[in-house]
Amino acid sequence: MSQQAPARRPGGPMGGGGPMGFGMGASDAKAQDFRGSIRRFSRRLRLERWLIVLVLLLASTSVFLAVLGPKLLGNATNIIFEGVVGRQIPVGMTQDQAIEALEATGSSDQAQLLASMTVTPGQGVDFAALAQVLALVVVVYVLSSVLAWAQNYIMAGVTQRTMYRLREDTDTKLGRLPLRYFDSVSRGDVLSRVTNDIDNISNTLQQTLTQLITSVLTVIGVLAMMFWISPLLAVISLLTVPLSFVVTMAIAKRSQPHFTAQWKWTGVLNGHVEESYTGHDLVKVFGHRRESIAQFDDANELMYESSFKAQFISGIIQPAITVVSNLNYVAIAVIGGLRVATGAMSLGDVQAFIQYSRQFTMPITQIAAIANVLQSGVASVERVFELLDEPEEEPDADPAVVVDSVEGRIVFDDVAFRYLPDAPLIEDFHLVVEPGEIVAIVGPTGAGKTTLVNLLMRFYDVDSGRITIDGVPTMSMTRDDVRRSFGMVLQDTWLFEGTIRENIAYGAAAATPEQVEAAARAARVDHFVRTLPQGYETLLTEGGANISAGERQLLTIARAFLADPSVLILDEATSSVDTRTEVLIQQAMAELRAGRTAFVIAHRLSTIRNADVIVVLEHGRIVEQGSHDVLMEARGAYYRLYQSQFEEPADAA
Amino acid sequence: MTDLLVGYLRPHWRVLVLIAVLLLVQAIGGLILPSLMADIINNGVVTGDTAYILRVGAVMLLLSVLVGVASVVTVYFSARTSMRFGRELRGDLFRRVELFSLAQMHRFTVPSLITRNTNDVQQLQMLVMVGLTMMVLAPVTAVGGIFMAIRENVQLSSLLLVTVPLMLVVISLMIAKAVPLFRVMQVKIDSVNGVLRENLTGIRVIRAFVRTEHEEGRFALANDDLTQTTLKVTRLFALIFPTLMLIMNLAIVATIWFGGHLIDDGSMPIGNLFAFQAYIMQILFSVMMAVMTMMMVPRAAASADRIREVLVSEPEIAEPAQPAQRLPQTGRIELVDVEFRYPGAEESVLQRLNCVFEPGATTAIVGGTGSGKSTLVNLLPRLLDVTSGAVLIDGVDIRSMALDDLWGLFGIVPQKAFLFGGTIGSNIRFGRPDATDEEVWAALDVAQAREFVDLLPGGLEAPVDQGGANFSGGQRQRLAIARCIVRDPLVYLFDDSFSALDYTTDARLRGALAARTVCRTVIIVAQRVSTIMQADRIIVLDGGRIVGVGTHGDLLDGCPQYREIVASQAVLEETR
């Protein structure tokens, strides 16, 4: 019996016969360039090539021994058989005499049978010989198991180390990709590649690599043995193999469209469930309950039909293979029996043959199962490689200008930028900001306000013109240095899974606890933190979801405080908070701004009234620049925007 | 879990009996084949009776075919039964959740409900499918095999007394060690993925604070951790199969050794040695399969619990036994001593509220976070039920109205504008399915959405992704508002529905809306002073109580909380 485990998902039913045992319909994804991707992935395994060679050696030896086993057991059975026959011959008669006697009575078959054996008349089973053979068998099997285990042990290390490296490379790649990439693709898709696809590759690698090696070797070894024992029976067994293969493939093919349909309807159904539950209120109040249920029932029914057919048809595979293998068993029993009766084959060999056919079909079905799992795995490999092939950010200027301390004089010099070639955004932009000045940037949504932030922080680079800090062009500084000069408080308050203290100190790793608390006090959030049971050591859940939106905002302000930047960027920071907390936030921000150059981008005109300079953007162009009073006098875009805040509906002049 | 399974499978009992019988046939058939083989050897080979060999061979052939047919029929019925099981369970779950109140939805949380209706049902369905085939077949084969083995030769069967327990011990040990490790591995995978997810969502902040290296370090730790654990798990699993196979093979060796002795002293014919080997293999293999498939049970049981939880929850908002026949005509809403408290909460969200919403007027509701604004608005269409007091429309208690009738009076635009997958047209018509194209465009006009819908390829037929993800926040809001407008209900409920619009659009929209809703009751919950300033009446909520009612001017004079709100948004003097 083979020593190797069938391809399976840990925790799931074993054997190639479970309902999903063939990985059928596990994933619809098909690889585009199967061989190319495998080849490219194999290059990653090169680091481990000596270990892989060792594994191949161990596998070959283990399989060789495992294949030897049934033959030796067959010999043991022969010894017993010879004993049985020997007993039947009366003491005193020799073997030849017995043969002649049989010939004489017309039992020529039996005579031939006897002639093919070595029998000691009158004596029973030669237990000494039997013991020897069986002892050898035990050694062979034990050795085979040990080697199989060693092979799996080593291979586990190989696959895990390879996966470690792949994960690491992916993470590093993410750090080198420009923000343009992340803004242009769906975050869900990137996440899926670095998580789901990599997990899929890991599982596939674990399941298929060792399996493939051992299965192929086993098939070869068993085939060789079978031919050596009895070419006739081997050919019969060989017939069953392609038969089961053909049957499997034919059935799998017929079931595939149903699996595809099943996945499709599952998607539709789940989508409907998600929509109905998320829009639960709307469905109820707008009177769509009945319709929603009807839509569900329709999709449910179609899913039932397709999944039933899929399961049924694919479920036939196992019984079909069992029938084929049973037919094989019958053939061996009958033909083997006949040949033994005529002395053409030994009984032990028949026994061995039965074991070999069992040992033969399992790897075949496993290879079929692997083929499917492999498809899905390679598709994932391709998706990950796509990510790894993405162009990286332009390298920093070398040698870069190093700036020690920044006063905060920012100049936009004839800057032009657009995200897409046919969608102009910022053109001929000039702006001079002296240290300590507060710049308010306003305009309707989509006017380019966050774009200015992207350019300042060098998340994106200008198409033409330049931005200078204290006279030094940002392009000639390293990106890190540019970013260190700024402190950013975004509308989207990102906090990571760590303590409040760690989050506040994110921008200043060497901060002392006193400094952290001072920053929190300045951000008006110290009191709140102290009301929490664990205070500053409170662990924030991913995304910081266990505290309210307003408090998250205050924490990000504290974070900016601690980083103590020379230039501040506040991006639509207060629009998601209720009015009370907003007062706190405004006070905190006012204090944060004191003495620093600040770029404030806000929806609420009230927060920017006190700015030194107001920059009004419309369709990416500065249409106005100046203080509040000056702009109100000018009765231009700013004036219009400001007035619309208090406009009378329908009665406006 | 058992009562859930029994409940849904009981109607199929006839099919289940058939399956059981067929499985029995399969098991017995599978066990008879080796004994027929033994027969061939004993009475055919040894005696040289070739005709006998062929005869028995034919019987074996027929038996194989019979077993094959039986198994195909089994698969048919188990696939059908298990998939039907899944279909019915899914349907019942969905219908139940559709009746849930807002509070119930929040208690279970929407993502959890989705999982229960999809993944958890899938788990159970698979369990039923596997159960109807393998989980019954394996034990039956094992027991049958043991029976046949003992019938063959009691002495040799005593081998089983050693091998079967040995196998069970080995498997149990492996499972005991592997399963917890497996769970740990899952946690580690979640950690690694968690770091990656964080890095993706916070990429701007990470780069802004120059923490890319730090994050890479965090990742390396999690990656290393995961690799170590996975290594342990895989190496442990690597041990299982070779060990089990070794046990099986040694069992065969022992069979031959002891069997040899029995054959020698004539207690057992040689052919039976073959049968015995086959039985041992089948028994041990079945034991292994049975245990392995048992591993599915705990996970399925957990899923079953989650499903039961939903099915046993009675809907909190119930239809009245005798629905009111007279329906409100004008839409005058009155709250009488209304109080709302979440079950088990210490404090009420709303305390003894009394107020009126008049038709033909726009009433605005303002207040800080946690003041109860959204709760109040959810009480009106009975998305939540009052804990005490009553909500009356035209003097009729809303609880005495049929839910469909009640809902027909309302149009809501919730805080987060949600659109359904389909087209612009289908989404707007969600408000009123029989709306004509002109009516839809008119609604889009009022909602200030025409300008961008006009530009879309296909206009009303332009596709809308699930949730409206292919539109900006402001566009979604306007479409949601248009959906409400086309319905033209007696009562319009806007829960902070203008927040994503800029000031100009906001003002224009409210102007157009006012023209459309002359006789209607319009209720607006908002944060922006500019939105509420124009309202006919403003209700100020604080800590679940009404602290001020009146016009903007009245409140500036007499309500300190209102003044504070206004102050935080604009300069006081400008707005008088």
Q: What is the pLDDT of residues B505-523, one digit of tens each?
A: 888 888 899 898 889 999 9
Percent of chain A with pLDDT over 90: 21
Averaged pLDDT for residues A440-459:
77
- For residue A476, CA distances in Å to A398, A401, A410, A464 come to 8, 6, 15, 14
The pLDDT score that the predictor gives to residue A448 is 65
CB-based contacts of A368, cutoff 8 Å, min separation 6:
A16, A22, A245, A248, A249, A252
Q: Average pLDDT of B35-46?
A: 83
Centre a 10 Å sphere on the Cβ of residue B73 and count the other Cβ atoms it contains: 16
pLDDT tens-digit map of B520-561: 999 999 877 778 888 899 999 887 888 999 998 898 888 888
Scanning every residue of chain A, which has its alpha carbon at the shortest distance from the alpha carbon of B208? Answer: A483
| Whole-angstrom Cα Rg for chain B | 36
Give Cα separations from B419 to A270, B464, B469, B471 (angstroms): 16, 8, 8, 10
DSSP for A510-543 reads: T--HHHHHHHHHHTT-HHHHHHSTTGGGPBPPTT
More confident residue, B544 or B392: B392
Q: Bridge partners of A415?
A: A429
pLDDT, mean of residues A96-116 = 76
Judge: A3–B253 Cβ closer than 8 Å, yes or no.
no
Residues of chain B contacting residue A479, judged by C-beta atoms under 8 Å apart = 207
- pLDDT category, B410, cuts 50, 70, 90? very high
pLDDT at B442 over 50: yes
pLDDT for res B571 = 42
What residue in A sits closest to B469 (Cα-Cα)? A186
Sign, CA torsion A577/A582/A584/A588? positive
Query: Hey, is the C-beta of B62 within 8 angstroms of any chain A C-beta?
Result: no
CA of B3 to nearest chain A CA: how many angstroms apart? Answer: 23
Tell me the pLDDT of chain A averaged across its residues: 81
Residue A322: list chain B partners with CB under 8 A: 67-68, 71
- By DSSP bridging, strand B350-357 and strand B388-393 are unpaired
Cβ-based contacts of A124 with chain B (< 8 Å): 264-265
| Res A29 pLDDT > 60 | no
pLDDT at A447: 56
| Average of per-residue pLDDT across B207-229 | 92
Q: Which tops the pLDDT comparison, B27 or A364? A: B27
Instruction: Please give the sequence-ordered ranges of beta strands (E in DSSP) within A443-516, or none if there are none.
Output: 464-469, 472-473, 486-489
A378 pLDDT more than 70: yes
Read off the tokens for A422: 């046919």
Q: Tokens for B163, please give them.
A: 């091998």
Q: Which position has the higher pLDDT, A414 or B471?
A: A414
Query: What tokens appear for A520 in the block?
Result: 């929190």
pLDDT, residue B172, reads 85
What region, left, alpha or beta, does residue B78 occupy, with left being phi > 0 and alpha being psi -120 to 50 degrees? alpha
pLDDT for B449-498, tens place per residue?
A: 988 898 888 889 998 887 787 887 788 899 999 999 999 999 999 988 88
The whole-number pLDDT of residue B562 equals 86
- Of the candidates B246, B252, B316, B358, the one whose C-alpha atom is nearest the C-alpha of residue A147 is B246
Whether A142 shows a pLDDT value over 90: the answer reads yes
Better-scored residue on pLDDT, B24 or A587: B24
pLDDT of residue A268: 86
Chain A: closest CA distance from residue B124 (Å) = 14
Which of B130-144, B217-231, B373-387, B473-487 has the weakest average pLDDT? B130-144
Averaged confidence pLDDT in chain B: 87
| CA neighbor of B418 nearest in space, from A432, A118, A279 | A279
Chain A nearest-CA residue for B179: A11
Whether chain A has a CB inside 8 Å of the CB on B293: the answer is yes
Contact call for A334 and B68, based on CB within 8 A: no
In this complex, do A334 and B60 lie within 8 Å of one another by their Cβ atoms? yes
Helix residue spans in A46-107 (DSSP H): 49-88, 95-104
Pairing mode of beta strands A597-601, A438-442: parallel
- Weakest-pLDDT range from A278-287, A297-306, A446-455: A446-455
How much is the pLDDT for A644? 64
Tell me, what's the pLDDT at A26? Answer: 40
Mark yes or no for CB contact B263/A125 under 8 Å.
yes
Residue B370: what pLDDT?
64
pTM of the model: 0.75
Please say whether the beta carbons of A278 and A271 come within 8 A: no
pLDDT higher than threshold 90 for residue B441? yes
Please check the confidence at residue A9 and state whether its pLDDT lies above 60.
no
Among candidate residues A68, A7, A136, A151, the one with its CA nearest the CA of residue A359 = A68
Give contacts of B 138-197 with A, CB under 8 A: 178-179, 182, 189, 192-194, 196-197
Query: What per-residue confidence (pLDDT) applies to B365?
Result: 92
pLDDT tens digit string along A511-529?
A: 899 999 999 988 888 888 8
**Nearest CA among B377, B401, B340, B422 for reference residue B523:** B377
Q: Please check the confidence at residue B108 and state whether its pLDDT lies above 80.
A: yes
Residues of A in contact with B87 (CB under 8 A): 300-301, 303-304
Provide the number of CB pairs (under 8 Å) joining chain A to chain B. 454
For the residues A595-623, what does the mean pLDDT come to? 75
For chain A, the 3-state helix, strand and coil shares in percent, each to the nearest 5, are: 65, 10, 30
**Interface predicted TM-score (ipTM) of this complex, two decimals:** 0.85
In this prediction, residue B333 carries a pLDDT of 94
Task: Report whether pLDDT(A6) > 60.
Answer: no
The residue with greater pLDDT, B189 or B427, is B427
The Cα–Cα gap between B296 and B302 comes to: 10
User: Is it the case that residue A573 has pLDDT exceeding 70?
Assistant: no
pLDDT at A261: 86
Backbone angles phi, psi at B88, to 5 degrees: -65, -40
Give the per-residue pLDDT at A292: 94
B446 pLDDT exceeds 90? yes
Give tens-digit pLDDT for A238-264. Answer: 887 778 778 888 888 888 888 888 888
- Whether B574 contacts chain A with CB within 8 A: yes
Q: Is residue A106's pLDDT more than 80?
A: no
The predicted pLDDT at position B62 comes to 93
- CB count in 10 Å sphere of residue A388: 13
Q: Say how far apart CA A187 and CA B198 lie, in whole Å.
A: 11
3-state secondary structure of A622: strand
Residues 430 to 469 of B: which have CB under 8 A from any A CB? 430-431, 466-467
Instruction: Determine the distance in angstroms separating the CA of A307 from the nearest CA of chain B, rounded to an integer.
Output: 7
The per-residue pLDDT for A10 is 29
Q: Which residues of A touch B48 (CB under 8 A)?
A: 107, 109-110, 113, 341
Residues of A in contact with B502 (CB under 8 A): 444-445, 603
Of A84, A157, A175, the CB nearest to B270: A84
Q: Give the range among A29-33, A52-56, B334-338 with minimum mean pLDDT.
A: A29-33
**DSSP secondary structure code for residue B573 in this structure:** G
Predicted local confidence at residue A15, as pLDDT: 28
Residues A88-104 have a mean pLDDT of: 77
Does pLDDT of A147 surpass 90? yes
pLDDT of residue A291: 93
- Mean of the pLDDT values across residues B388-415? 92
What pLDDT does residue A543 have? 56
Chain B 198-227, residues with CB within 8 Å of chain A CB atoms: 198-205, 207-212, 214-216, 219-220, 223-224, 227
The pLDDT score that the predictor gives to residue B572 is: 35
**Which residues of A fall within a CB distance of 8 Å from B156?**
none
Query: Which residues from chain B sit within 8 angstroms of residue A323, using beta carbons?
Result: 64-65, 67-68, 71
Does B575 score more than 70 pLDDT? no
pLDDT of the residue at B457: 85
Closest C-alpha among A317, A252, A334, A363 to residue B63: A334
Please report, in angstroms and rounded to a whole number, the separation of the first and last CA atoms in chain B. Answer: 66
**Candidate ranges A356-365, A399-408, B553-562; pick with highest mean pLDDT:** B553-562
